[in-house]
Amino acid sequence: MTDQVYKTDALIAQDIDAYLERHQHKSLLRLITCGSVDDGKSTLIGRLLYDSKMIFEDQLAQLEADSKKVGTQGQEIDFALLVDGLAAEREQGITIDVAYRFFATEKRKFIVADTPGHEQYTRNMVTGASTAELAVILIDARKGVLTQTRRHSYLCHLLGIKCIVLAVNKMDLVDYDQAKFDAIVAEYTEFANSIGITDFTAIPISGFKGDNIAGHSDATSWYSGPTLMAHLEGVDLDQNTSAAQEFRMPVQWVNRPNLDFRGFSGKIAAGTIKPGDAVRILPSGKTSHVDRIVTYDGDLDSATAGQSITLTLKDEVDCSRGQVITTASAPLEVADQFETTLIWMDEEALIPGRSYYLKIGAQTVSATVAEPKYQINVNTMEHAAAKTLELNAIGVANITTDRDIPFAPYAENRTLGGFILIDKMTNATVGAGLINFALRRAQNIHWQATDITRDHHANLKNQKPAVLWMTGLSGSGKSTIANAVEKKLARMNRHTFLLDGDNVRHGLNKDLGFTDADRIENIRRVGEVAKLMADAGLIVITAFISPFRSERQMVRDMMAPGEFVEVFVDTPLSVAEERDVKGLYAKARSGQLKNFTGIDSPYEAPETPEIHIDTTAMSIDEAAEQIFKQLLGE
């Protein structure tokens, strides 16, 4: 097997300097291979590694031994074993992931994202596709265009891959029949056009036999196009398009070695920059000119998309991590509401209304996702109504961020339009998103400044506004204690208002039920009302189960620092259930009442509440007294 002769070997042996000179000018192509084991994906990757001489002799010896022992190709080499890892690993659930493989030829270095193709691994495929410039979509020549072919093509197109290769594999098993190949290409063309793929390259191959991989196959004399390897080496890369756009660079880090130097470090997302160019910083809108492009290898005359650089500006302007430096005359759009396409990646489904972290470029903000407009069936491309997105689901939903962010639609620029969503409690990456466009209403509603401020209101009442947020299980005593606290405050001439869970659901929130999403919207509205009342100078007392930490945090974040006082009315479930003042626990246990906190819906206790009330150890009055004292700082 080692008798294959590589033309590079001669050069390496004779003139290593010439070889190095040539190879340091190699370009890089990142690609993804789509298909399942049945399509011969692992065999193909193994073959590419082998044909580009990335397999060493010790690995080859191992491979030959393994092929005889466990291979599926009789006495011949089973290339799939090179990349498949071990079956045991697969069973451990470790291998089903994205693996990256590397090989290089005379002209290019390749990074292959190797991901499983089944529908339950959509998130892995999306991850692999996010960095790929080219996709190899494998088809089994015996089977033709399948559901999974459509899914893989759709996902690659969605993630913005412009170069698509349709590798019609296992041609050896259909006797290299041109008619079969042509029929598959015709069928695929029709589908590809329907989802917006305008161009692709179809190649008849056999990963197992090596036909049209590195060398032209005699068996397909009817095929005059490039071999797979030649196509991968020669395909025109997209890099220059992003270089031709206007200049955009998210600031990753402010470089301040001393008082005389202030540089803005980042990787250029689009365009080209030169010293003297006028730039605008977003979202602040401030302008300046580029002074120097600083690198370790000396100042540059110009820098372009893909380079990591440090810029200094001629003026002392504010610019911090997360802001984007752009061409002054053609800045990015800035908005806080977007239509997005979301890919959900977590076991816990999307909760509309919940506050997640959104990371885009070098910026992390808070964001809430509205109920999806629809979910996309990745097999049929049909749209279906959806209340949420489960693991591996793809849907379209509006997103609101807590501040303006500079962006570009994903279709224009991956860096400026792609984002991830992070769960605030678990810190897990739960979703990935593509910005489609900004919603206009964000731009047309402005905050109207008023002359009488919240401080005026508070001063008139001669008190410090606060939001006393009681949280605890149903029947823990929140309402009773809240009522007692309000009476005490009223006796001291404090201006108060009590927002009670049941009462609010009679009016403001009568349209909401008890699903997770409705509970979150319930709390959001109460939070907004409490905020208005605090702005009016009142001490607001609320009594809501408010079972989720994220939403209590969301309300806390709405208020001025120190204004939100979390009161944990701590009653064990068994005690609350025994009290069962309203008979609700009995109903929930018998199944008449769904989504009841503590029974079939979780309660997330506060970790560090400002006030902790143990209702099993004190009376209502003692509890009210403790809260009253702590609130007034006594």
Own/partner pairs, 54-62, CB within 8 angstroms, 24+ separation: 54/102, 54/103, 54/104, 55/82, 57/2, 60/1, 60/2
Q: Closer CB to another protein, residue 152 or residue 519?
A: 152
At position 594, the amino acid (one-letter code) is: K
Q: Closer CB to another protein, residue 102 or residue 374?
A: 102
Supply the minimum distance, in Å, between the C-beta of residue 8 and another protein: 8
d(CA 539, CA 559): 13
**Neighbour order of strands in the sheet with 496-500:** 496-500, 539-543, 466-471, 564-570, 611-614
Question: CA dist 28 to 17, 25, 75, 132, 532, Å?
Answer: 21, 10, 36, 11, 56
546 annotated active-site = yes
Supply the minimum distance, in Å, between the C-beta of residue 127 and another protein: 5
Q: Report CA dihedral (284, 289, 291, 293) to the nearest 10 degrees.
A: 70
Q: Closer CB to another protein, residue 55 or residue 543?
A: 55
Supply the minimum distance, in Å, between the C-beta of residue 228 and another protein: 20
Supply the minimum distance, in Å, between the C-beta of residue 45 and another protein: 11
Q: Closer CB to another protein, residue 100 or residue 222?
A: 100
Name residue, tokens 């509890």.
623
Supply the minimum distance, in Å, between the C-beta of residue 20 and another protein: 6
The separation between CA 105 and the C-alpha centre of its own chain, rounded to angstroms, equals 33
Q: Closer CB to another protein, residue 130 or residue 288?
A: 130
Would you say 533 and 497 are in contact if contact means Cβ atoms under 8 Å apart?
A: yes
Q: Which residues contact 313 (CB under 8 A, 6 or more apart)?
A: 262, 264, 279, 288, 289, 290, 291, 319
Supply the minimum distance, in Å, between the C-beta of residue 339 and another protein: 19
Q: Closer CB to another protein, residue 358 or residue 588?
A: 358
Ramachandran region, residue 160 (left: φ > 0; alpha: ψ -120 to 50; beta: rest): left
Q: Report CA dihedral (376, 381, 382, 383) to the nearest 10 degrees.
A: 30
> DSSP of 553-603, one letter per residue?
HHHHHHSPTTTEEEEEEE--HHHHHHH-TTSHHHHHHTTSS-S-BTTTB--
Q: Closer CB to another protein, residue 216 or residue 414?
A: 414
Q: Establish whether the linkage from the previous residue to 352 is cis, with ω within 30° of 0.
A: no
Q: Closer CB to another protein, residue 134 or residue 174?
A: 134
Q: Closer CB to another protein, residue 304 or residue 326?
A: 304
Would you say 548 and 573 are in contact if contact means Cβ atoms under 8 Å apart?
A: no
Supply the minimum distance, in Å, between the C-beta of residue 343 and another protein: 9
Q: In degrees, to the nearest 5, what angle opens at C-alpha 353 toward C-alphas 350 and 359?
A: 70
Strand-pair partners of 406: 334
N-term to C-term CA, the chain: 86
Question: CA dist 555 to 7, 521, 558, Å?
Answer: 67, 11, 5
Q: Which of 42, 52, 355, 546 is labelled catalytic?
A: 546
d(CA 251, CA 201): 38
Supply the minimum distance, in Å, between the C-beta of residue 63 and another protein: 12
Which tokens hold the place of 417?
Answer: 């339009």
Which tokens hold the place of 424?
Answer: 């605030």
Supply the minimum distance, in Å, between the C-beta of residue 601 and another protein: 24
* Active centre residues (catalytic): 546
